[in-house]
Copies of this chain bind each other. A is one copy, B any other.
Amino acid sequence: MRAPPTILINGEIGEHISISDRALQYGDGVFETIAVHHGRPLLWQQHIARLLDGCERLSIRPAPDPESLRCDADELCVDAQKAVLKVLVTRGESGRGYAISAQNRPNRIAMLLPWPTYPREYADTGVEVRICDTRISRNPALAGIKHLNRLEQVLARSEWQSEYAEGLMLDEAGNIIEGTMTNLFLCLQGTLLAPDLSQSGVTGIMRAAVLDRARKMSLPCQVTSITHEMLDGAEEVFLTNSIIGIWPVRRIESIQYNIGGTTRRLQKEIEGSHCFGQAS
């Protein structure tokens, strides 16, 4: 029996794309990184909703049909026990110049990738985190979107090798926005705080799932600007993304944290839920 493909481009097996694709020329597109568990992409509806919202905000039209995205996922993931499904939508090919044309035909790319080998201790005993020198820029027109302009994250991630699990990025004004590949949460005086992402950052799917769970658990929650002083005063800190779930933070530079009850409760909730491939 033939092994399932690992890459589909507009539903066809392939590995290459035209150099005229605007994703290559301008980073003109959006993407999703989705956990796959026992052949099933997790939080699928949420990922596809964000992908389509990104297409809408960037006027990438026609946006891909959710049914075709589902077919790609089914074909790639059928044999995958634990993997990462990455889906990209580019604006397609065009001639030179930034102008968008009604002739642009978006390209849909789906790739099945290995599950990353993060140490299990990251989730159990917490991670050590850097404050990056590279800042994340502010632009409400792009904030929240998981778009393909990721040079700031590439530069920030290049500031360390393996001595940290993640690095936090600040905006120009010094607000703490997010990690290079994760969203940030703090517990401060009993309230769960998540950084405001209206000017910068990516509105993570796991971030939304955690906020949703927290509200259902009647935890006081607030989305707000996060300053360095709030990091200093926080009782608990954790990071989220769709692949890792929740990583407690035990240190940010010189600030030490205990892994507290709120982090553990939310971690248990998420790890026991459909967000993490469990039945509930």
Contacts and interface: CB of A to CB of B under 8 A. Distances in A.
Interface string A141-159: 1100001111111111110
Given A19-B9, A98-B157, A26 B141 contact: no
A95 B83 CA distance: 13
A267 to B, nearest CB: 23
B148 A141 contact: no
B95 A113 contact: yes
B59 A158 contact: yes
A16 B33 CA distance: 24
Interface string A214-244: 0000000000000000000000000000000
Interface stretch (A69-77, A130-138, A254-262): A130-138
Interface residues of A, number: 60
Contacts of A149: 26-27, 149-151
The count of identical subunits is 2
Nearest to A199: B172
Contacts of A27: 23, 26-27, 148-151
Interface in A84-143: 84, 86, 88, 90-91, 95-100, 109, 111, 113-114, 116, 134-139, 141-142
A74 to B, nearest CB: 20
B26 A148 contact: yes
Nearest to A181: B98
Interface string A1-36: 000000101000011111111111111100101000
Contacts of A15: 18-20
